[in-house]
Amino acid sequence: MRSSLGIQIGSFLALLALWHLAAVLAKSSLLPNPVMVIEVIGEAIASGELPYHLAITLMRVLASFILAMVIGTAIGIAMGWSRSFNRLFDPWLVFFLNIPALVLIILIYVWFGLIEIAAVSAVALNKIPNVAVTLREGTRALDKDYQEMARSFRLGFAKTMVHVILPQLYPYLAATARSGLALIWKIVLVVELLGRGNGMGFQLHLFFQLFDITNILAYSLSFIIVMQAIELVLFQPAERRISRWRR
Amino acid sequence: MEIKIHAKSFSTGGLSSEQPVLENIDLQLRPGEFVVLFGPSGCGKTTLLNIIAGLDAFYEGDVRLPSAEGRVDPVTGYVFQTPRLLPWRTVRENIQLVLDGDENDLEMADALIEDMRLAEFANSYPNRLSVGMRRRVALARAFIVAPDLLLMDEPFISLDDPTARRLRMLLLDVWKRRRTTVLFVTHDLREAVMLADRIVFLSTRPATVIADIAVDIPRDERHDDSRIEDFRSMLIMKNGFLFADP
């Protein structure tokens, strides 16, 4: 465990070194070296600008994530449970799975305006079908033996859900939450770039127009670090906790 | 306690539409009685238990279970052929789960855990326990609800002989102290003789009752293997037709 962490850090440092070498060789303002980028990160944090936009983006990620997980899970469970429901809505699912994210975003902005709720729903809408498909699989794989046990002991709906059904769905929820977070934050940036006046996407767009590569890299790097921290601090401990019963 | 099933069939999905499983089953259980359902494998014993447990509503007949005072619906405890413990819950959590969860209940659960010598494993997850131990937990879970009827579906199958024997003794011991009506399914005659007040014999499919024989070995001699064996041989001698397994 500790040695694998060491390897990971070493590997990351090697990437930084490679970047630095490339920057030194290129001698171009279009490829700043890591030291310059880290300096800019420091300045942007000091001015409060980076934390502000980062926080805005994270809030949007969080809102869309929760929306997508809750709605997607409900749809997925319903489709896994009921064959007729599945037959009815499977074509819808296929349709929404295959709509490009950008098309959904544009349509929703056009129909509902460049407002916050439109931005968040556009992102959520892009992820809901994926969540639904995964949870449908999970629901189909539920062990009927446990449900019989729950029914014969009259556990009732709430207890059955919490103690019998959801624990069987945790692996599916964890998988879709992971991939969901990765997908959602990328789409949030697009939504911000197209129709919001703040957030990471908006800032990146601004820097793009100014050809300010140092700032683009500074913002991206900070964001990657924050997302990785979320993975380490939230997802991995949660997963360990949930799966501690496994041998 | 009255269980009457006129007919129960399964659709096999094939060309022959309906396969009859149970036919004219009529069981009367006295309160506190230990009744063993004995029949060949695959004759529909599990189906019968599922109907009684309320897991299967598609049958013709009538199941009437009395409930203890103060209960609206009768409570059944079910020990399945496999333990069916929730692997993501500890032994204690598995047992507490089937209770309503007030203070009193939790104390009761701990008392039973102590009673069934499970205390040392109370905080373990089921898949860290031996197979015999898991079955013991399943037994505890069925007893903790103080069932009006305890259903047991070959609960000691595929255990080695000493473990199965120990569990049978434990079952009788707990049952003596927490008396309830038991319907126990098996196709092991020795087990049936050891446990039962009365053995009800079922035929092959479609299953129907073909004999109903009281076991008159006193309860305090059930641990004596020679008594069990004598009774068993006598049973086979007198009623050989019951065991003509085609």
Q: Which of A2-6, A83-87, B90-94, B167-171 is predicted with the least confidence, judged by mean pLDDT?
A: A2-6
Q: For A192-199, what is the mean pLDDT? A: 91
A126: three-class secondary structure by DSSP:
helix
Q: Which of A15-19, A144-148, A242-246 is predicted with the least confidence, judged by mean pLDDT?
A: A242-246
Q: Is B78 on the interface with A (CB under 8 A)?
A: yes
Say whether the ipTM exceeds 0.85: yes
Average pLDDT, chain B: 86
Tokens of A120: 């968040």
The pLDDT score that the predictor gives to residue A73 is 94
Q: Could you tell me the pLDDT band of residue B84, with boundaries at 50, 70 and 90? A: very high
Q: Which of A18-27, B94-103, B162-171, B189-198 is predicted with the least confidence, judged by mean pLDDT?
A: B94-103
pLDDT digits (tens, 9 = 90+) for B199-234: 999 888 888 888 888 888 888 888 888 888 889 888
Question: Is pTM, for the whole model, over 0.90?
Answer: no
Residue A84's H or E segment, with its range, is helix A83-98
B143 in Cβ contact with B77 (< 8 Å): yes
Question: Nearest residue on chain B to A154, judged by CA atoms?
Answer: B98
Out of A151, A164, A245, name the one closest to residue B55 (CB): A151
A153 chain-B contacts, CB cut-off 8 A: 77-78, 97-98, 141, 145
Q: Beta strands B18-28 and B2-11: pairing type?
A: antiparallel
User: Among all chains, which residue has been given the structure tokens 């995964």?
Assistant: A134
CB atoms B80 and A148 under 8 Å = yes
pLDDT digits (tens, 9 = 90+) for B152-177: 999 998 889 899 999 999 999 999 98
Q: Could you tell me the pLDDT band of residue B246, with boundaries at 50, 70 and 90? A: very low
The pLDDT score that the predictor gives to residue B15 is 60
pLDDT digits (tens, 9 = 90+) for A64-88: 999 999 999 999 999 999 999 999 9
- Residues 206-245, chain A, touching B (beta carbon < 8 A): 242, 245
Distance from the first to the final alpha carbon of chain B:
32
Out of B84, B125, B145, name the one closest to residue A145 (CB): B84
Q: Is B131 on the interface with A (CB under 8 A)?
A: no
Q: How far is B18 from chain A (nearest CA, A)?
A: 23
The size of the A-B interface in CB pairs under 8 A is: 48
B127 chain-A contacts, CB cut-off 8 A: 245-247
Instruction: Examine the pLDDT at A128 and tell me if it is beyond 90.
Output: yes
Instruction: Examine the pLDDT at A2 and tell me if it is beyond 60.
Output: no
Instruction: Examine the pLDDT at B245 and tell me if it is beyond 60.
Output: no
The pLDDT score that the predictor gives to residue B111 is 86
Q: How far apart are CA A19 and CA B189, in angstroms?
A: 78
- Residues 48-67, chain A, touching B (beta carbon < 8 A): none
Residue A106 or B69, more confident: A106
A246 chain-B contacts, CB cut-off 8 A: 87, 127
Q: How far apart are CA B98 and CA B110, in angstroms?
A: 13
Question: Nearest residue on chain A to B144, judged by CA atoms?
Answer: A153
A205 in Cβ contact with A219 (< 8 Å): no
Q: Could you tell me the pLDDT band of residue B14, with boundaries at 50, 70 and 90? A: low
pLDDT cut 90: percent of chain A above it: 73
Q: How far is B226 from chain A (nearest CA, A)?
A: 37
CB atoms B84 and A154 under 8 Å = no
Burial status of residue B166 (CB atoms within 10 A of its CB: 0-12, 13-18, 19 or more): middle
Average pLDDT, chain A: 91
CB atoms B86 and A164 under 8 Å = yes
CB atoms B54 and A152 under 8 Å = yes
Instruction: Examine the pLDDT at B100 and tell me if it is beyond 60.
Output: yes
Q: Could you tell me the pLDDT band of residue B21, with boundaries at 50, 70 and 90? A: confident
DSSP per position, B55-118: S---SEEEEE----TT-SS--EEEE-SS----TTS-HHHHHHHTS---HHHHHHHHHHHHHTT-
